[in-house]
Amino acid sequence: MSKEDISRRQFLNYTLTGVGGFMAAGMLMPMVRFALDPILKEGTDQEMVAVTSVEELANEPKRFDFKIKQKDGWYESDVTQSAWVYKAKNGDVIALSPICKHLGCTVDWNTDPSHPNQFFCPCHLGRYTKDGTNVKGTAPLAPLDVYDSQVKDGKLYLGKAKPRKGA
Protein backbone atom coordinates (compact mmCIF):
# COMPACT_ATOMS: atom_id res chain seq x y z
CA MET A 1 0.00 0.00 0.00
CA SER A 2 1.49 3.30 -1.03
CA LYS A 3 1.42 6.29 1.24
CA GLU A 4 -0.89 8.19 -1.12
CA ASP A 5 -3.78 5.75 -0.63
CA ILE A 6 -5.19 7.41 2.41
CA SER A 7 -3.83 10.24 4.46
CA ARG A 8 -3.68 10.23 8.21
CA ARG A 9 -6.18 13.06 8.31
CA GLN A 10 -8.56 11.24 6.01
CA PHE A 11 -8.31 8.06 8.05
CA LEU A 12 -9.14 9.93 11.23
CA ASN A 13 -11.99 11.70 9.47
CA TYR A 14 -13.49 8.39 8.33
CA THR A 15 -13.04 6.80 11.73
CA LEU A 16 -14.63 9.70 13.55
CA THR A 17 -17.52 9.94 11.11
CA GLY A 18 -18.07 6.19 11.31
CA VAL A 19 -18.03 5.99 15.07
CA GLY A 20 -20.08 9.16 15.42
CA GLY A 21 -22.60 7.93 12.87
CA PHE A 22 -22.89 4.61 14.64
CA MET A 23 -23.52 6.31 17.97
CA ALA A 24 -26.06 8.72 16.49
CA ALA A 25 -27.84 5.84 14.77
CA GLY A 26 -27.93 3.83 17.97
CA MET A 27 -29.47 6.80 19.72
CA LEU A 28 -31.97 7.70 17.03
CA MET A 29 -33.07 4.23 15.94
CA PRO A 30 -35.25 3.48 19.00
CA MET A 31 -36.83 6.93 18.83
CA VAL A 32 -37.61 6.72 15.12
CA ARG A 33 -39.04 3.22 15.46
CA PHE A 34 -41.08 4.52 18.42
CA ALA A 35 -42.51 7.30 16.28
CA LEU A 36 -43.22 5.01 13.32
CA ASP A 37 -45.02 2.44 15.46
CA PRO A 38 -48.56 3.33 14.30
CA ILE A 39 -47.56 2.59 10.69
CA LEU A 40 -46.16 -0.81 11.59
CA LYS A 41 -48.88 -1.88 14.01
CA GLU A 42 -51.21 -4.58 12.75
CA GLY A 43 -54.87 -3.64 12.37
CA THR A 44 -57.18 -4.94 15.04
CA ASP A 45 -59.89 -7.49 14.39
CA GLN A 46 -63.43 -6.47 15.03
CA GLU A 47 -66.14 -8.60 16.56
CA MET A 48 -69.35 -9.12 14.63
CA VAL A 49 -72.08 -7.04 16.24
CA ALA A 50 -75.82 -7.77 16.17
CA VAL A 51 -77.47 -4.89 14.33
CA THR A 52 -81.09 -5.77 13.70
CA SER A 53 -83.44 -8.64 13.10
CA VAL A 54 -83.69 -9.70 9.49
CA GLU A 55 -87.46 -9.04 9.43
CA GLU A 56 -86.77 -5.34 9.62
CA LEU A 57 -84.98 -5.43 6.28
CA ALA A 58 -86.70 -4.52 3.04
CA ASN A 59 -85.75 -4.08 -0.58
CA GLU A 60 -85.31 -0.38 0.09
CA PRO A 61 -81.99 0.54 1.83
CA LYS A 62 -82.56 1.47 5.46
CA ARG A 63 -80.13 3.07 7.78
CA PHE A 64 -79.20 1.18 10.97
CA ASP A 65 -76.99 2.47 13.75
CA PHE A 66 -75.01 0.08 15.91
CA LYS A 67 -72.33 0.37 18.58
CA ILE A 68 -68.89 -1.15 18.38
CA LYS A 69 -66.11 -1.25 20.94
CA GLN A 70 -63.20 0.82 19.73
CA LYS A 71 -59.69 0.79 21.16
CA ASP A 72 -57.77 3.93 20.28
CA GLY A 73 -54.34 3.70 21.90
CA TRP A 74 -55.04 4.02 25.61
CA TYR A 75 -58.64 5.12 25.05
CA GLU A 76 -61.44 2.61 24.80
CA SER A 77 -64.96 3.63 23.96
CA ASP A 78 -68.22 2.61 22.33
CA VAL A 79 -68.59 4.23 18.95
CA THR A 80 -71.72 4.42 16.86
CA GLN A 81 -71.44 3.26 13.29
CA SER A 82 -74.07 3.25 10.58
CA ALA A 83 -74.88 0.98 7.70
CA TRP A 84 -77.30 1.15 4.78
CA VAL A 85 -78.84 -2.30 4.70
CA TYR A 86 -81.26 -3.90 2.26
CA LYS A 87 -82.33 -7.32 1.06
CA ALA A 88 -81.45 -7.98 -2.56
CA LYS A 89 -83.88 -9.74 -4.94
CA ASN A 90 -82.06 -13.06 -4.46
CA GLY A 91 -82.39 -12.79 -0.67
CA ASP A 92 -78.81 -11.68 0.03
CA VAL A 93 -78.39 -9.05 2.69
CA ILE A 94 -76.26 -6.12 1.56
CA ALA A 95 -74.83 -3.73 4.17
CA LEU A 96 -73.05 -0.67 2.80
CA SER A 97 -70.87 1.78 4.63
CA PRO A 98 -72.27 5.34 4.50
CA ILE A 99 -68.80 6.85 4.15
CA CYS A 100 -68.28 8.47 0.77
CA LYS A 101 -65.25 7.13 -1.09
CA HIS A 102 -64.38 10.58 -2.37
CA LEU A 103 -63.34 12.40 0.81
CA GLY A 104 -65.21 10.70 3.60
CA CYS A 105 -68.46 12.64 3.97
CA THR A 106 -71.62 10.73 4.83
CA VAL A 107 -73.88 9.58 2.03
CA ASP A 108 -77.65 9.42 2.25
CA TRP A 109 -80.21 7.36 0.36
CA ASN A 110 -82.50 8.98 -2.15
CA THR A 111 -81.99 12.60 -1.12
CA ASP A 112 -81.14 14.04 -4.52
CA PRO A 113 -84.49 14.78 -6.23
CA SER A 114 -82.97 14.77 -9.72
CA HIS A 115 -81.43 11.30 -9.24
CA PRO A 116 -83.89 9.18 -7.25
CA ASN A 117 -83.00 5.78 -5.81
CA GLN A 118 -79.31 6.47 -5.54
CA PHE A 119 -76.94 7.13 -2.68
CA PHE A 120 -76.05 10.80 -2.66
CA CYS A 121 -73.19 12.67 -1.05
CA PRO A 122 -73.96 16.39 -0.59
CA CYS A 123 -70.32 17.49 -0.28
CA HIS A 124 -69.34 17.16 -3.93
CA LEU A 125 -72.54 15.73 -5.41
CA GLY A 126 -71.16 12.19 -5.49
CA ARG A 127 -73.63 9.46 -6.39
CA TYR A 128 -73.78 5.67 -6.11
CA THR A 129 -76.29 3.18 -7.42
CA LYS A 130 -78.23 1.01 -5.00
CA ASP A 131 -75.56 -1.72 -4.90
CA GLY A 132 -73.01 0.94 -3.94
CA THR A 133 -71.34 1.28 -7.32
CA ASN A 134 -70.10 4.81 -7.90
CA VAL A 135 -71.73 6.62 -10.79
CA LYS A 136 -69.16 7.52 -13.41
CA GLY A 137 -68.59 11.24 -13.84
CA THR A 138 -69.31 12.01 -10.18
CA ALA A 139 -66.64 12.67 -7.59
CA PRO A 140 -66.09 9.24 -5.97
CA LEU A 141 -63.67 6.85 -7.68
CA ALA A 142 -64.64 3.65 -5.90
CA PRO A 143 -67.82 1.89 -4.78
CA LEU A 144 -69.02 2.14 -1.18
CA ASP A 145 -67.39 -0.26 1.29
CA VAL A 146 -69.33 -3.37 2.19
CA TYR A 147 -69.66 -4.62 5.74
CA ASP A 148 -68.81 -8.20 6.53
CA SER A 149 -72.24 -9.57 7.30
CA GLN A 150 -73.72 -12.73 8.68
CA VAL A 151 -77.29 -13.79 9.41
CA LYS A 152 -77.68 -15.97 12.47
CA ASP A 153 -80.92 -16.92 14.24
CA GLY A 154 -82.82 -14.30 12.29
CA LYS A 155 -80.42 -11.56 13.30
CA LEU A 156 -78.03 -9.58 11.19
CA TYR A 157 -74.45 -9.32 12.41
CA LEU A 158 -72.01 -6.82 10.92
CA GLY A 159 -68.21 -6.74 11.11
CA LYS A 160 -65.69 -4.53 9.41
CA ALA A 161 -66.41 -2.45 6.32
CA LYS A 162 -64.16 -3.62 3.49
CA PRO A 163 -63.27 -1.72 0.32
CA ARG A 164 -64.11 -3.04 -3.15
CA LYS A 165 -62.48 -2.64 -6.54
CA GLY A 166 -63.34 0.52 -8.46
CA ALA A 167 -66.05 0.53 -11.11
Cα–Cα dist 18/21, whole Å: 5
Q: Where on the chain is the footprint of another protein (CB under 8 A)?
A: 27-28, 30-31, 33-35, 37, 40, 73-75
Q: Which residue lies nearer to another protein by CB, 25 or 28? A: 28
Smallest distance, another protein to C-beta of residue 28, A: 8
What's the sign of the alpha-carbon dihedral 74, 79, 84, 85? positive
What's the sign of the alpha-carbon dihedral 153, 157, 162, 163? positive
Q: Which residue lies nearer to another protein by CB, 28 or 103? A: 28
Smallest distance, another protein to C-beta of residue 152, A: 33
Buried b (16+ CB within 10 A) or exposed e, 27-43: eeeeeeeeeeeeeeeee
Q: Which residue lies nearer to another protein by CB, 30 or 154? A: 30
Smallest distance, another protein to C-beta of residue 161, A: 25
